[in-house]
Amino acid sequence: WKVAFVGLLALLNCWHLFPHRIPLRRVNIGFKALNPPRGWEKLAEPPRLAAPSPGNKSLFVPLSDYMNVQYYGEIGLGTPPQNFSVVFDTGSSNLWVPSVRCHFFSLPCWLHHRFNPKASSSFRSNGTKFAIQYGTGRLAGILSEDKLTIGGITGATVTFGEALWEPSLVFTFAHFDGILGLGFPVLAVGGVRPPLDRLVDRGLLDKPVFSFYLNRNPEAADGGELVLGGSDPAHYIPPLTFVPVTIPAFWQIHMERVQVGTGLTLCARGCAAILDTGTSLITGPTEEIRALQKAIGAVPLLMGKYYIECSKIPTLPPVSFLLGGVWFNLTAQDYVIQITRSGFSVCLSGFMALDVPPPSGPFWILGDVFLGSYVAVFDRGDRKSGAQVGLARARPRGTRQ
């Protein structure tokens, strides 16, 4: 269910203790959304692998942001490290990157960085075939093993996928090279041990906890930060509200209710929701999302996207989510995706219909539109305590204390 950016890109084309940090940087491309990804890189220096903070076992990883619909950061694979931009995805559990051995007709491979096993002295062959199906893309390849460099630390050998066949349009136009899954082990294709678990196994992280701060300011150069091994209180306004994970596969929690202004109640008897950094929008069942779009005055466009008049943003109702007994409110400034280029603005609804069938669904997906307003702390827990997610309002950039 990676309901990400393909439809949005097509639409735009029509409109002409301190933990280890991984910074997320922003790339402003405006309406040149369908230019080849390698051309985009000339507009901004690629993020460097972050250095670890001394005296602790947490990592801070910078993230890049493409138009508020792609957040990604840099990792290294092999010895010496071969660098790749990856989406840190809480909705999956595998790590994969394109391979130099990819199929000749697999266009995404040729437009992105590719892993070369012959250039790594620590590479170990596995050879097991794998295939992954996302909501808007699929790929296939072979599993391999090598050293992972992330947030300035190395030493963990991970099993990752070398993508040999990427037939989906979504990966052709993606600014990232691959995906690093941060979901639970049960989701991992091929029974592979997820990268986060490998870091904890090797003692490179004290605990299986990580948090996301996504910068939604379109004028900012950086896209936010992924913190591995903990969280940074400077990213959010306390307190954190912790909600238990109900099914430890996706980061799934119970949502008590959704309120649109004062006149519309959705998820009235409670429903499931997953927090997914790999999904750009907020999604929900078709009938409920259709009612929500009507309540906020959104007009249907292409591929399930909805248009909103930018001038109406100050008058639109808030959309609120009841989680753990606390209301998490989004204003129209939060849930409307506004793109401005040369004085011309296009505004799109941050909501989209998606029906996930049983047994996995139905559920809502709280993607980047929600996670840009609220910092999420993902805690896998231990034998004594179960997994949980902590949520708090993100602190606006420039007001960190």
Q: Which two tokens stand for residue 238?
A: 């306390």
Query: Distance (Å, rounded) from C-alpha 184 to C-alpha 171?
Result: 24
Among residues 222, 276, 368, 379, which one is catalytic? Answer: 276
In tens, the pLDDT along 258-276 reads 999 998 999 999 999 999 9
- 368 is a catalytic site residue: no
Q: DSSP string spanning 346-370? A: EEEESEEE--PPTTT-S-EEE-HHH
Query: Looking at residue 36, what is its pLDDT?
Result: 23
337: number of Cβ within 10 Å: 21
For residue 376, how far is the Cα from the chain centroid? 12
E strands, 185-318, where? 209-214, 222-228, 236-244, 247-248, 251-260, 264-266, 271-275, 282-284, 299-300, 306-307
In tens, the pLDDT along 355-379 reads 988 888 899 999 999 999 999 999 9
- 65 is a catalytic site residue: no
In tens, the pLDDT along 12-43 reads 333 334 578 887 754 433 322 222 222 222 22
- Report the residue count for the chain: 401
Is residue 241 within 8 A of residue 72, CB to CB? The reply is no
pTM of the model: 0.85
